[in-house]
A and B are shown apart, each in its own frame.
Chain A
Amino acid sequence: SYVLTQPPSVSVAPGQTARITCGGNNIGSKSVHWYQQKPGQAPVLVVYDDIDRPSGIPERFSGSNSGNTATLTISRVEAGDEADYYCQVWDSSSDQVFGGGTKLTVL
């Protein structure tokens, strides 16, 4: 089955840029989606199809995907961005596959 690997944690100061990676075998050939989940809440889609943002998601959230790594970039990080972030792809062997999640801490 397909495996997505994320760093357990990323820390960043307010106003700086956070980059959260998602590794997978030839992930650049797949469409990657990213979700934000705050404590006690359901996940929220923040980036889909590698680079697109759903309506209502700030432009500070962007994505890229190439080779074996997809990246979620959050510019001008705010305290309210502190959350868990999950990458996700569709795989023919197991439908939806999620990464293990990355806890973003705003220092």
Chain B
Amino acid sequence: QVQLVESGGGLVKPGGSLRLSCAASGFSFSDYYMRWIRQAPGKGLEWVSYISSGGITLYYADSVKGRFTISRDNAKNSLYLQMNSLRAEDTAVYYCATSTVTTGLDVWGQGTTVTVSS
């Protein structure tokens, strides 16, 4: 079945780095653009980054621009988010998501938790 599984979250000190992964299965990953979306504890959803199906077009939220890098490996059906210079305000559950059969985000992973704290 169509599935996204995130991994790579954890506890990191301010200024540190972390790389999140999102493994896709059950659909033709290389045909679809992908997004990272995060949710801080007790807060709403915040879009983080976008990558086109071929990995050429990239967009970032202002809050992470210059610190985060989105990438993908279509041969491995995987999406990544390299997070550098992490701040306390980056603490959140990070979801990967995509649109497959609708124009909305109809497939989401279960999320991976990132905690930035000293």
Give the size category of B's interface with A: 20 to 34
A61 to chain B, nearest CB (A): 13
Check if B31 is an interface residue, CB within 8 A of chain A. no
Cβ contacts B46-61/A at 8 Å (1 or 0 each) = 1100100000000101
A54 to chain B, nearest CB (A): 6
Contacts from A to B (Cβ < 8 Å): 31, 33, 35, 37, 42-45, 47-49, 52, 54-55, 84, 86, 88, 94-101
Q: How far is the CA of A47 from the CA of B108 in the complex (A)?
A: 15
Residue of B nearest to A33 (CB): B104
Contacts of B26 in A (CB 8 A): none
Q: Is the CB of B106 within 8 A of A54?
A: yes
Q: How far is the CA of A26 from the CA of B103 in the complex (A)?
A: 20
Q: How far is the CA of A33 from the CA of B106 in the complex (A)?
A: 10
Q: Is the CB of A48 within 8 A of B102?
A: yes
Report if A45-B106 is in contact (Cβ < 8 Å); known contacts: A94-B61, A101-B44: yes
Our pick among A31, A54, A86, A95 for the contact of B45 (Cβ within 8 Å) is A86
Check if B110 is an interface residue, CB within 8 A of chain A. yes
Report if A42-B45 is in contact (Cβ < 8 Å); known contacts: A95-B59, A96-B35: no
Contacts of B103 in A (CB 8 A): 31, 33, 48-49
A13 to chain B, nearest CB (A): 26
